[in-house]
Amino acid sequence: MRTITLEIEPFESVKEGMAKTFAYVQSYTILETMKMDYQEGICIEILEFNLKEGASIHDIRTVGNMEILSVLKSADSKHICLIRYTEPEENRGRFQDTDLDLIHTIPTIISPEKFTISMMGERKNLADFVEMMKNVGTIRKMAFRRAAYQKADLLAVLTEKQREVMVAAFHNGYYDYPKKISSKQLCRKVSISKPTLLQHMRKAEGRILKEIMTGYFQRLE
């Protein structure tokens, strides 16, 4: 697993397309992605909005295609909010193409002048992400680093669906010996097909093992 951080100067066409988003907002930071549904074009996230002078969070219901569901914390011009992003139906196909099995990480800060975007994932997927971002703007800086192992955040290396499957598998005794539930029974509980379930589990197990082994070898160095 690797983490990449990009600093991008967006093209003028991209800035124009985001004009409504930044009507009242100076910048926003993605703190956590709670749910990402590429098929439905819906994303639930916790963001920190930095508002422009004179703007009030209580007067804002939407920020571009983002709906503010709840204001969790406010301090001066900065407001931490739970939001729901909905991709316009005409763009769903392109939105689905952005599903590269990556995870947003800190820092990810978006402003009209500069995008600072950090993603975590496999090297090839990160390389594909870089190529995709070249259609958004000019990449001014790029930094790769090995994802640091932290036991408390181990599940953070998994996608939302992978976490859901692994938690359900553990909770229902799939990893007990003998097993308390079969893969066929488990796939009914999480409402996905057996091949999809096993694919999520294989990827999740691989990521967790890689993180554990990375931490182990770091301690040996």
pLDDT given at position 152: 44
- Predicted TM-score (pTM) of the model is 0.68
Distance CA 148, CA 157 (A): 10
- Average pLDDT over every residue of 132-160: 79
Distance CA 200, CA 69 (A): 29
Higher pLDDT, 54 or 96: 54
Whether the CB-CB separation of 84 and 43 falls below 8 Å is answered with: yes
Pick 151-220's CATH classification: 3.30.310.40, 1.10.10.10, 3.40.50.2000, 3.90.400.10.
1.10.10.10
pLDDT given at position 170: 87
Per-residue pLDDT band for 149 (boundaries 50, 70, 90) equals: very low
User: How are strands ordered across the β-sheet holding 137-146?
Assistant: 62-63, 66-75, 78-86, 42-51, 25-37, 103-110, 115-121, 2-10, 137-146
Q: pLDDT digits over 32-52, tens only?
A: 887 788 888 999 898 999 999
| pLDDT above 70: percentage of residues in the chain | 91
Whether the CB-CB separation of 119 and 102 falls below 8 Å is answered with: yes
Residue from 73, 148, 88 nearest 118 by CA: 148
Distance CA 169, CA 156 (A): 17
By mean pLDDT, which of 65-79, 147-161, 170-184 is the weakest?
147-161
Q: Could you give the residue range(s) of every CATH 1.10.10.10 domain in the chain?
A: 151-220
| Long-range contacts, 75-78 (Cβ 8 Å, 24+) | 77/26, 77/50, 77/51, 77/52, 77/53, 78/48, 78/49, 78/50, 78/51
